[in-house]
A and B are shown apart, each in its own frame.
Chain A
Amino acid sequence: MESSILDSIGSEIIGVMTPVSLCMLLVVLLVYSLSPSEQSLSGASDPFRTAANLVYLERPDDSSTQKLEGAVLNALVFVILIAIVTFLLVLLYYYNFTNFLKNYVRFSAFFVLVDFAHAEVLLCSWLGTMGGSIFLSIIQQFSIPVDAFTCFVLLFNFTIVGVLSLFSGGIPILLRQAYMVCMGIIMAAWFTKLPEWTTWALLLALALYDLFAVLAPGGPLKLLVELASSRDEELPALVYEARPTVSENERNRRSGLRFLLGGVSDSGSVELQVVSRDNADGRENHGNPEYSAVNVGTFGNEMHERSSDEVERLPLVGHLRDGFSSSGSSSDRSTSVNRENEIVMEEEMSPLVDMSLLGNNRQRASDSLENSLITDRGIRLGLGDFIFYSVLVGRAAMYDLMTVYACYLAIISGLGCTLILLSVCRRALPALPISITLGVLFYFLTRLLMEPFVVGTTTNLLMF
């Protein structure tokens, strides 16, 4: 029986959603398993000062207006800091200090990983007072017996492999993805320690900033992306280059999802984009016979697409599906390497833009064939998105499980909306605004409206 189209549609979206969900799940678990110990400790622990609450330290006994003002100020300062850092990065990149940037990002990633490694070492030698570290709390919570030496060796290895896998080739893609999620979790767990009001203000402010930075003319991230693509370079940052997971087994058809840490690891710069990237080397690396075969295949496909495009125009979602599922369908045809899938995908997505130029379709088709052969594309999701989605869910987890589910659903649907928009706009889009807005909205709706309703009915053993 021929495989139905249902098998392949939407795998791209799921490919992005899976790691995000995983990251959120782990952060929630972390928050849950750590919060009891923190509550018992928190009597002693003072609110600590970080870049995110420079202005105002929230105390439980402050009045609401005080909290609100302080939180807004904190968020403002933090966003301004981020904006300055990002502009600095853009400037540096503009003047070609690429090496400096690369090393800086390398260093900061190392620092993030070492940060808890460091605290870990301290803990193991019973010097540890750094209550902020994650592993420390985990080990404390579950009272895992580890000696200092083992602990040190393990963490050293963990960190080194992590930094290597993030920056050099030849490491299995799965490992990279794992480390990327790991970094997201570490950062998110750190952010969940912020006081409540500051967290909400910060999230909203970041969503706004993201909107500005990616979309506004002169926004730093927009500049960065444009600059990078005009130079045909990688983004000068911790670019998560998910070479497509090899699709020898046909289950694994999703083309690579890439995480993109545009800017610095702690700047939370975020974007979601379909990136066209120069693929000249890939072209050379590929076996030529194989490639020409694909040429023919995709060309035919393109023509077919074109002719049917003339006949009917599907709604936008249909186009999205085209793009996604065609990557699956083409891998039936040529199951060589996933990059071809991406090429085909690019090709079938490109008609979205120039559909009005259908007149000279043969010319156009061959044109876009040329173009698409030298670029490949995939969905990149910024690490910042991972972090702040997880922060939102983690914050929700401190209230109740119900808010967690509501926020999760809201964020995921926001991500879905952004992906659909992405296929329509075909440019870098901020991934935070829709999701964060929906998430915050659902959090408060759930907390204020739904909770009393559900608890009221359920404790009377009524359901429907």
Chain B
Amino acid sequence: MTVAAGIGYALIALGPSLSLFVAVISKKPFLILTVLSSTLLWLISLIVLSGIWRAFLPLKSTTWWPFALLIISSVGFQEGLRVLFWKVYKRLEDTLDAFADRVGKPRLFLTDKMQIALAGGLGHGVAHAVFFCLSLLTPAFGPATFYVDRCPQMPFFLISAIIALAFVTIHTFSMVIAFNGYAEGNTTDQYFVPVVHLVAGMVTLVNFASGGCVVGIPLLYILASLILLHCGKMVWRRLTAS
């Protein structure tokens, strides 16, 4: 039973990304490589951040503002990294196009570009879920569970799985939006993504209040669906336009 629970938590957090991976990514080796490298990039960013914050840890869990600082710095760093990722990707795209010309194949289609962006986002999202949720899940396979004081409604593992799912969604699709925004030079999209990311991070601060997760998680899901909706509309617009 406990093994079932553990697998269940893992699937809540990563199930959608798993199906996305199987359906879209796994058929194209290049996309798998993109996912891997983007995951690695995210891991490196996390390590750098934790290296910076290591000196101040552990933070007192009574005051909330150090955590706010932590989130702001982290989101800022990661958004900077996204710009870097975009630059690398841009170069890669040129290389691929040049190569396609040489072997006499068509250049990258619009869908190809979007798939690469999706793979990059999925890498970020999966890394997030893996490190923030899955890696803490080991005790969930054992014979007990764990509740945190601030949110007695659900087991801790379930909460973290649910939050991780929201963040996986946000990370995955915000990469598509961001890449498209950069490609089109659309400033709204370029700012939309960091803002949503920051707001999502800030919303988790609501969990700091006792019983706050009842409010925080729905808010988070509203943000996630906002991203999904925006991404869907944008892709639809691009596809119908071309």
A residues adjacent to B (C-beta < 8 A): 2-11, 13-14, 304-305, 308, 312, 314-315, 317-318, 321-322, 325-326, 329, 400-402, 405-406, 409-410, 412-413, 416, 442, 445-446, 449-450, 452-464
Contacts and interface: CB of A to CB of B under 8 A. Distances in A.
A6 B30 contact: yes
Contacts of A449: 47, 50-51, 54
B47 A446 contact: yes
Nearest to A309: B102
28 contacts: A2-B105, A4-B105, A7-B27, A9-B29, A9-B30, A315-B95, A318-B95, A321-B96, A329-B105, A405-B135, A406-B43, A409-B40, A416-B37, A446-B47, A449-B54, A452-B57, A454-B46, A454-B50, A455-B136, A456-B58, A456-B59, A461-B204, A461-B207, A461-B208, A463-B164, A464-B71, A464-B197, A464-B201
Contact of A400 (B116, B138, B201): B138
Contacts of B216: 461
Interface string B31-57: 111001101100100110111011001
B118 interface: no
A461 B148 contact: yes
A322 B103 CA distance: 9
Given A5-B100, A458-B132, A14 B115 contact: no
Contact of A458 (B47, B100, B136, B151): B136
Interface stretch (B155-163, B174-182, B183-191, B226-234): B155-163
Contact of B99 (A5, A402, A412, A464): A5
B167 interface: yes
Contact of A456 (B57, B130, B148): B57
A460 B136 CA distance: 13
A460 B134 contact: no
Contacts of B57: 452-453, 456
Contacts of A305: 102
Q: Which of B78, B115, B130, B167 has the most CB of A within 10 A?
A: B130
Contacts of B28: 6-7
Given A6-B116, A445-B47, A464-B204, 8 more contacts: A304-B104, A305-B102, A308-B102, A321-B95, A445-B51, A449-B47, A449-B50, A453-B57
A413 B36 contact: yes
Given A7-B28, A401-B138, A450-B47, A464 B74 contact: yes
Contacts of B131: 402, 405, 450, 454
Contacts of A409: 36, 39-40, 43
Contacts of B59: 456
Nearest to B100: A5
A306 B221 CA distance: 54
B135 A400 contact: yes
Interface string B131-143: 1111111100000
Contacts of A458: 132-133, 136, 160
B84 interface: no
Q: Which of B67, B103, B156, B160 has the most CB of A within 10 A?
A: B103
Nearest to B134: A401
A409 B124 CA distance: 13
A235 B208 CA distance: 63
Nearest to B141: A32
A234 B65 CA distance: 66
Interface in B1-48: 27-33, 36-37, 39-40, 43, 46-47
B205 interface: yes
B99 A321 contact: yes
Nearest to B138: A401
A153 B163 CA distance: 50
Given A454-B131, A461-B163, A5 B67 contact: no
B219 to A, nearest CB: 13
B213 interface: yes
A457 B67 CA distance: 8
B80 to A, nearest CB: 14
B222 interface: no
A314 B95 contact: yes
Nearest to A9: B30
Contacts of A329: 103, 105
Interface in B78-123: 78, 95-96, 98-106, 108-109, 112, 115-116
Contact of B98 (A3, A7, A318): A318
Given A10-B32, A416-B33, A5 B105 contact: yes
A10 B108 contact: no
B61 interface: yes
B208 A460 contact: yes
B195 interface: no
A251 B58 CA distance: 51
A416 B34 CA distance: 12
A461 B213 contact: yes
A3 B108 CA distance: 10
Contact of A10 (B33, B39, B103, B112): B33
A442 B150 CA distance: 33
